[in-house]
């Protein structure tokens, strides 16, 4: 069965970086794109960016351009998202999700990132 398994919760200080992984199984990794979203407490979901797993092309929300980097390792069937220059407002649950087009049919379980001094 299709699964996306994300890395565990992180606690970071302001100004630090965090890198979250998303390991895929149960399907051909290179045939689907991977997107990243986040959900701050009590807030709506916010789309951050995506990677075409086949050719590694990426696209980011303008809000996160320059601060977010999405990569993938096809040999490990894993996608990654790194967020730099963390601030308290980045405290959120971060999700990866799979797409064929631009709706999300399978999601990771979420990774809580807490930014606190």
103: which strand partners? none
The Cα 71–Cα 67 span in angstroms is 13
Q: Which residue among 21, 61, 69, 114 contacts another protein (CB under 8 A)? A: 61
Q: Which residue among 41, 55, 101, 117 contacts another protein (CB under 8 A)? A: 101
The closest of 82, 101, 77 to 4, measured between CA atoms, is 77
Residue 70: C-alpha distances to residues 53, 56, 60, 83 (Å): 10, 9, 9, 9
Task: Provide the minimum distance between the beta carbon of 16 and another protein in the complex, in angstroms, as a whole number.
Answer: 25
Three-state SS for 88?
helix
Q: Does 104 bind another protein (CB under 8 A)?
A: yes
For another protein, the closer CB: 52 or 61: 61
Q: Kindly indicate which of the ranges 10-18, 25-33, 83-91, 108-116 contains the residues binding another protein, using the contact rule CB under 8 A.
A: 108-116
Which positions lie near another protein, rule CB under 8 A?
35, 37, 43-47, 59, 61-63, 95, 97, 101-105, 107-110
């Amino acid at each position: 069965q299709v699964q996306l398994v994300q890395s565990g919760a992180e606690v970071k200080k302001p100004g630090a970086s965090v890198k979250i992984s998303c390991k895929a199984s149960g399907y051909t990794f290179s045939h689907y794109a991977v997107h990243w979203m986040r959900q701050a407490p009590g807030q709506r979901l916010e789309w951050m960016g995506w990677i075409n797993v086949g050719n590694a092309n990426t696209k980011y929300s303008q809000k996160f351009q320059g601060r977010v980097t999405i990569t993938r390792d096809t040999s490990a069937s894993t996608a990654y998202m790194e967020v730099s220059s963390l601030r308290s407002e980045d405290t959120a649950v971060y999700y990866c999700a799979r797409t064929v087009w631009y709706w999300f049919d399978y999601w990771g379980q979420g990774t809580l990132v807490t930014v606190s001094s």
